[in-house]
Structure 1
Amino acid sequence: MKAETLRTLWRYPWQHRFSLSLVLLAAYILLALAAPFIAPQNPYDPLQIQAWEASSPPGTVSGVGYAYLLGTDGLGRDIVSTILYGLRLSLLVAVTSTAIAAFIGLTLGVSAAYFGKWADALIMRIVDLQLSLPTILVALIAIVTLGPGVDRIILAIVIVQWATYARLARGVALSEIGKPYLDAARLLRLPTHRILFRHLLPNSIAPAITLIPIELGHAVALEATLSFLGLGVPIDKPSLGSTVANGFQYLLTGQYWISLFPGLALFGLIASINFVGEDLRRRLDPRRRSHGA
């Protein structure tokens, strides 16, 4: 009885953290979707930006009547608005790149396991080569080669992430090769693409469910890093990373709010995604369920 009570008390913090992280992540997503309706201004529209009110401190009342609750940046854009629109762009880049990387990586991973021989050797050598290099180095090489832009950022993150999914999918698919359902599919002479996408891939995708949230947070952080280095989205398309970078040069003059508030929003977004992903992994871990932990 005492052991069961201790086990219950141990579970509560994880359950509460998962719930709070899920609520926070849902709030971020809702704010991003509602940005055009709740943001005080559109930071993409130069007609709505009061350039003479650049670097205004938090609480300053604008010339058109509303207050800059978190101040303005060096271009006169409302920080609240840049955070809300930055959330949209950061989540768009992260979700799109993660989805494409997962599809490519899972497809190549199960293909390597199914075809074997030279296909397996070729794909896995490329995977090994990429995973042996630092992530940020691969991203920098990709973005320098492709050039700046939102679509190029997405492609660069795809290049970084696909190999992780490929290795995971190959390992799971190898355990599926030789099972009766695949033997039956071959005996029925089903097309190869149908065997891969209708049978092998769906049965190899389960572990990727816990990997996707982690890679999603990684994509947000990577986009922010590239934007902070000036290799990400253009300055006229605010993401959380580029907003933090825009305010970095003003820190020495005491204008902390330009970087501080977007940085806190970025930290909260990445933390909520990572906490949800980690707790999802714990909940779906078969070893944890088997031990009743």
Structure 2
Amino acid sequence: MTIMTSLRLSQRRIRGALTLPNGVLALFVLAAITAPVLAPQNPYDMLQILGWEASSPPGTMSGNGYRYLLGTDGLGRDIASCILYGLRISLVVSVVSAAAAAAIGLTLGVVAAYFGRWVDAVIMRAVDLQLSLPTMLVALIAIVTLGPGVDRIILALIIVQWATYARVVRSVALSEAGKPYVDAVRTMPLSHGRIILRHLLPNSIAPAITLLPIEIGHAVALEATLSFLGLGVPMDQPSLGSTVANGFQYLLTGQYWISLFPGFALFALIAAINFAGEDVRRLWDPRSRSL
């Protein structure tokens, strides 16, 4: 019966992964990885950019023999190529920052629950202070202090996101820390670090896993917003946010495609990540496993 139940759960998880949003997200990831192969132009290589073809409408034939399917921006860069390369930056920034924030928040949340007393008080007061401030305000303060750049925006997003993981994980770790198996291992000649890593942490990690996809989508939106404001990825690097920002000044002149297509790609990416996160939540939520 146990084997049959495990098989049914495995089949359910496989069916849950085969959804349209997950397929769209997989295509985005594949397009980002293969951008140098798929993109007709390298938007970082100024030798491939023809300035006299700036703001060309979709479907224009380039001087290099290929067609600008989505047009060009104000610098003459192919919009389709900017989207493909922009996906790489947006995904790398969001995944790295969310994963690092999850590691920090998970560690601090478990440590706070395990030690309690003043350790818990100090960590949770820092969490309360972080979460009491608007997310965008914290991100703006961090990026203004650190300065623009891909590495700095990753650090700024880590500062923004770690507290959410810490609060969620602490609530679960508090419940686990009061169980008999934790009391039993405390009596053994084991270090605190070993008890946390081998016993408490594995049983408290599920909330961080379910929260991770949602925070990745949040990080994509934050990076795009900061880049749109000129405080994130520099304008000469085609993230999705900076590509949308590059075309904002041309909207009033009717050159809609410079912002429209990157904006649509950004929306589709965030939506696909959020739907995939909902699938992850259903798969890891114990209440959804009842047969």
Q: TM-score, normalised by structure 2?
A: 0.92
Unaligned runs of 5+ in 2: 1-14
**Cα deviations by residue, 1:26-79 (Å, 9 ceiling, x for unpaired):** 000000000011110111111111111111111111111111110111111100
Q: CA RMSD in A?
A: 1.5
**1:1-293 correspondence runs (5 A):** 19-290=19-290
Deviation at 1:18, TM superposition (A): 6.7
CA distance in 2, matches of 1:178, 1:284: 22
Contact between 2:139 and 2:160, CA under 8 Å: does it hold in 1? yes
Contact between 2:51 and 2:75, CA under 8 Å: does it hold in 1? yes
Deviation at 1:214, TM superposition (A): 0.5
Query: Aligned residues, how many?
Result: 277
Which amino acid is 1:199 matched to? H
Unaligned runs of 5+ in 1: 1-14
Deviation at 1:17, TM superposition (A): 10
Deviation at 1:275, TM superposition (A): 0.9
Which amino acid is 2:254 matched to? G
Flag the 1:166–1:241 CA change in 2: closer, same or farther, 3 A.
same
Deviation at 1:207, TM superposition (A): 1.5
Contact between 2:16 and 2:279, CA under 8 Å: does it hold in 1? no
Contact between 1:18 and 1:275, CA under 8 Å: does it hold in 2? no
Which amino acid is 2:96 matched to? T
Which amino acid is 1:118 matched to? W
**Cα deviations by residue, 1:249-272 (Å, 9 ceiling, x for unpaired):** 000011100000000000000000
Question: 3-state DSSP class of the match of 1:204?
Answer: coil
CA distance in 2, matches of 1:190, 1:43: 55
CA distance in 1, matches of 2:258, 2:17: 30
Q: TM-score, normalised by structure 1?
A: 0.91
**Cα deviations by residue, 1:96-129 (Å, 9 ceiling, x for unpaired):** 0000000000000000011111110011011011
Flag the 1:130–1:18 CA change in 2: closer, same or farther, 3 A.
farther
Question: 3-state DSSP class of the match of 1:103?
Answer: helix
CA distance in 2, matches of 1:38, 1:17: 26
Flag the 1:103–1:148 CA change in 2: closer, same or farther, 3 A.
same
What residue in structure 2 maps to residue 4 of structure 1? none
CA distance in 2, matches of 1:275, 1:65: 39
Contact between 1:54 and 1:77, CA under 8 Å: does it hold in 2? yes
Identity of aligned residues (%): 76
